[in-house]
Amino acid sequence: MTRLFLVDDHPIMRDGLRALLSREPSLHVVGEASHGQELLDRLPNAPADVVLLDLNMPVLDGLATAQRLRIEFPEVKILVLSMLVNERYVGQLFEAGVCGYALKNDEISELVLGIQTVAAGRHFLCNELSLRMLNRVLLKTSAEPEAELTPAKNPYNFSPRETEVLILLADGLTTGDIAEKLFTSKRTIETHRQNMLEKSQARNTAALIKLAMSQGALH
C-alpha cells in the first residue's frame, strides 16, 4: 500500500482529495499539511512514500518544498498537483526533484495512476501537458509566441506563480481577471504583484512590465 501525504493550502481541496483517494484500496493518506514547512515538520512522525504537492502555498511554496525534500527526505517521491499549465515550470520542478506533474482538473483515475507511477520509481506527466509538449514539438508553428518569462533572464528571482501573474498583467488582465483565472483571491494576486515590485524596485505595475521587457524577460 502506498502511503500518501497531502499538501495544499486550501482545506476544502485537501478534504476532497482525501475523500476521493481513500476509496482507492492501494492508497493510504497518512497526513495533511497546508504548506511545505508544515509537511517537513510532520513527515518524521508520518512517513510517506509519495507527497502530493501543491505549488502556490504560503510560508514554503511547492518549488522550495521540493528542493528541501530532495535533501532531507530523498526517499520520498513527489507528485505535483496544480492548476498551473506551463512547460517551463514543469522542467524547473523536475530539476528540483519532482517525479510527476498532474493537473487539478484531471480525472481521479489519472491522478491515481500518477501516484502509483511515481511510487514505483518512474516519472509521470499528465495527458494534457504531455499533449501540449508533443504538439509544440510537432507543429513548430511560426506564430508569435505568448509572452513568457525566460528562465535565463529572471534577474529578480520571481517565483513560478509571480512569473505567471507578471505574464497575465502584461497581457492586460486585471487583478480580478487573474484571480479568477488562477482560482485564487484578489488579495493573493495583489500580494504577488507587491512582491515583484519590491524585488525589482519598480515604482508601479507599468514600470514593472516595462522593466521586465527591457531585461528581455517578456517577449
Q: For residue 84, what pLDDT is reported?
A: 81
Q: For strand 27-33 and strand 50-53, is the pairing parallel, antiparallel, or unpaired?
A: unpaired
pLDDT tens for residues 72-96?
999 999 999 998 877 777 888 898 8
Spell out the domains of the chain, with CATH numbers in brackets. Answer: 2-134 (3.40.50.2300), 151-214 (1.10.10.10)
User: The C-alpha cell of 135 is what?
Assistant: 504538439
pLDDT of residue 60: 92
* pLDDT at residue 4, as a whole number: 97
Q: Of 15, 88, 79, 14, whose CA–CA distance to 53 is shortest?
A: 79
Q: How confident is the model at residue 50 (pLDDT cuts 50, 70, 90)?
A: very high
35 vs 143: which has the higher pLDDT: 35
In whole angstroms, how far apart are CA 100 and each of 87, 135, 158, 183? Answer: 13, 20, 23, 22
Element housing 197 (H / E): helix 186-200
Residue carrying the nine cell digits 512514500: 49
CB 34 within 8 A of CB 56: no
